[in-house]
Amino acid sequence: MARIIDKILARRKEIQAERLSQAVLSEAANDSHHHENDNIHNDNHPPSIPYYYSFEYFPPKTEPGLDNLLTRIDRMSRRLDPLFVSITWGANGSTLSCTLALAGHAQRYACVDVLLHLSCTGMTREQIAEVLDMARKSGVHNILALRGDPPPGKKGWEFGDV
């Protein structure tokens, strides 16, 4: 699967090529009414880009909820073609296995790129490395690593906290 930024850039190129093609066709059709500045591209003001969208899913707490969500991810990805889906992460890694299962399913079977949220609160560097390795093995390459809220019982972060 592609990196999300690569997909955005590729879609922008497709849109620009389509607009250029339309401009050429329009210019040929209206050759007698052509105005000098109609189809000039100004590099300081790129043409407007259509909206990109994604879906965000939170791992459910029950087995029936998981079945429902897997079906929903498949259906929404196939019908609506989001740029990517993001799979969130429960506090202190409470949804680790479900998050990775959802991310792997979406990546492999729904054929949609995944942005995995990784909240690093309360995790050691070794645990973070292990989760990153599991994500890689699931085919997930887009990760949003967050420090997250301070662990329970702490009012704030201290220098060196993970």
pLDDT digits (tens, 9 = 90+) for 75-119: 998 888 898 999 998 776 778 888 988 998 898 888 889 999 988
pLDDT band at 48 (very low <50, low <70, confident <90, very high): low
Catalytic residue list: 56
CA angle 4, 7, 10 (to 5 degrees): 155
60, two tokens: 């459910």
| Distance separating alpha carbons of residues 134 and 128, to the nearest angstrom | 10
Nearest to 142 by CA among 119, 160, 118, 115: 115
Q: What is the sign of the dihedral through the CA atoms of 35, 36, 40 and 44? A: negative
In which residue are the tokens 């995995």 written? 116
Question: Which positions ≥6 away from 2 have C-beta within 8 Å?
Answer: 10, 113
Q: What is the per-residue pLDDT across 114-158, written as a single tens digit (0 to 9) for each? A: 999 988 877 888 989 999 999 998 888 899 988 877 777 778 777
Burial tier of 73 (Cβ tally within 10 Å: 0-12, 13-18, 19+): buried
